[in-house]
């Protein structure tokens, strides 16, 4: 590193400590300045101490550096008390503002999760149309109007007849299989069905409808 660069580090560290006027380790200074290398900052601190431009405090293995307090004028006690009171006042204001910000963020989140005006209008239009159709259908039913054509009605009956026949057929086949097993089974039909895990129509109160 050049001498001009070294001098820049020294001046920057001294200026930073004078402005902050609080103790920092060399690592803290390095992290806060971010403009110079760690080694350069450490050397700058040592150089400033040697030239009595800053003060070094040693706590065990930890070294901290602080601005030379002789460069600062004494602060009046009343002024300190006023500053402390001002800090408390400002802290309360900050707390109030943070609570307000939190409330507003929650409100904004609610708005963001809600439907947009455009989507809401589209949904209202869709539901209104469905409501209209349902009202018309209800009106027709109230007047005894037939809402299904003869052809569609016939299709429904034929489908029902087909499925009922299939139901009866499968029920008959199942009974034949169970009865065949029972011929060589030492226990009752109920015990056999329980063992196999078969639930019959009769168990749940279902009756096969007439075709």
Query: Of 60, 66, 53, whose CA–CA distance to 26 is shortest?
Result: 66
Would you say residue 1 has pLDDT above 50? no
Per-residue confidence (pLDDT) for residue 90, from 0 to 100: 92
Per-domain residue ranges of the chain: 3-71, 151-204
List pLDDT tens digits, range 140-186.
777 777 667 888 888 998 999 999 999 999 999 999 999 999 998 89
Identify the pLDDT of residue 202: 87
Global pTM exceeds 0.75: no
Put residue 142 in one of left, alpha, beta given phi > 0 → left and psi -120 to 50 → alpha.
alpha
Listed in sequence order, the DSSP H helices in the chain are: 3-20, 26-33, 38-50, 77-113, 117-142, 150-182, 189-196
**C-beta neighbour count of 9 within 10 angstroms:** 24
DSSP per residue, 33-56: H-SS-HHHHHHHHHHHHHTTSEEE
The string over 13-41, giving b where at least 16 C-beta atoms fall within 10 Å of a residue's C-beta and e elsewhere, is: bbebbeeeeebbebeebbeebeebeeebb
The CATH architecture of the domain made up of 3-71 is: Orthogonal Bundle (1.10)
Interval 23-48: pLDDT, tens: 999 999 999 998 899 999 999 999 99
Which letter does DSSP use for residue 117 in this model?
Answer: H
At 201 the pLDDT is 87
Tell how far CA 181 is from the center of its chain.
Answer: 58
Using alpha carbons, list the distances in angstroms from residue 31 to 24, 27, 50.
11, 6, 23
Report the sign of the C-alpha dihedral through residues 175, 181, 182, 183, in that order.
positive
């Amino acid at each position: 590193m050049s001498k001009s660069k070294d001098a820049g580090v020294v001046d920057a560290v001294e200026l930073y400590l004078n402005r902050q006027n609080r103790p920092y380790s060399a690592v803290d200074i390095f992290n806060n300045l971010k403009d110079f290398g760690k080694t350069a900052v450490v050397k700058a601190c040592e150089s400033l101490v040697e030239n009595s431009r800053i003060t070094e405090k040693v706590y065990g293995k930890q070294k901290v550096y602080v601005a030379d307090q002789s460069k600062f004028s004494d602060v009046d006690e009343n002024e300190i008390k006023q500053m402390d009171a001002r800090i408390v006042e400002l802290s309360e204001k900050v707390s109030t503002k943070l609570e307000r910000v939190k409330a507003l963020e929650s409100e904004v989140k609610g708005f963001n999760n809600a439907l947009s005006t455009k989507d809401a209008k589209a949904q209202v239009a869709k539901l209104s149309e469905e409501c209209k159709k349902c009202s018309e259908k209800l009106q027709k039913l109230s007047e005894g109007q037939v809402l299904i054509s003869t052809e569609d009605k016939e299709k429904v009956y034929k489908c029902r007849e087909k499925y009922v026949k299939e139901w009866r057929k499968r029920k008959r086949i199942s009974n034949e299989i169970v009865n065949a097993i029972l011929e060589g089974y030492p226990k009752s039909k109920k015990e056999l069905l329980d063992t196999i895990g078969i639930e019959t129509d009769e168990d749940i109160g279902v009756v096969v409808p007439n075709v």
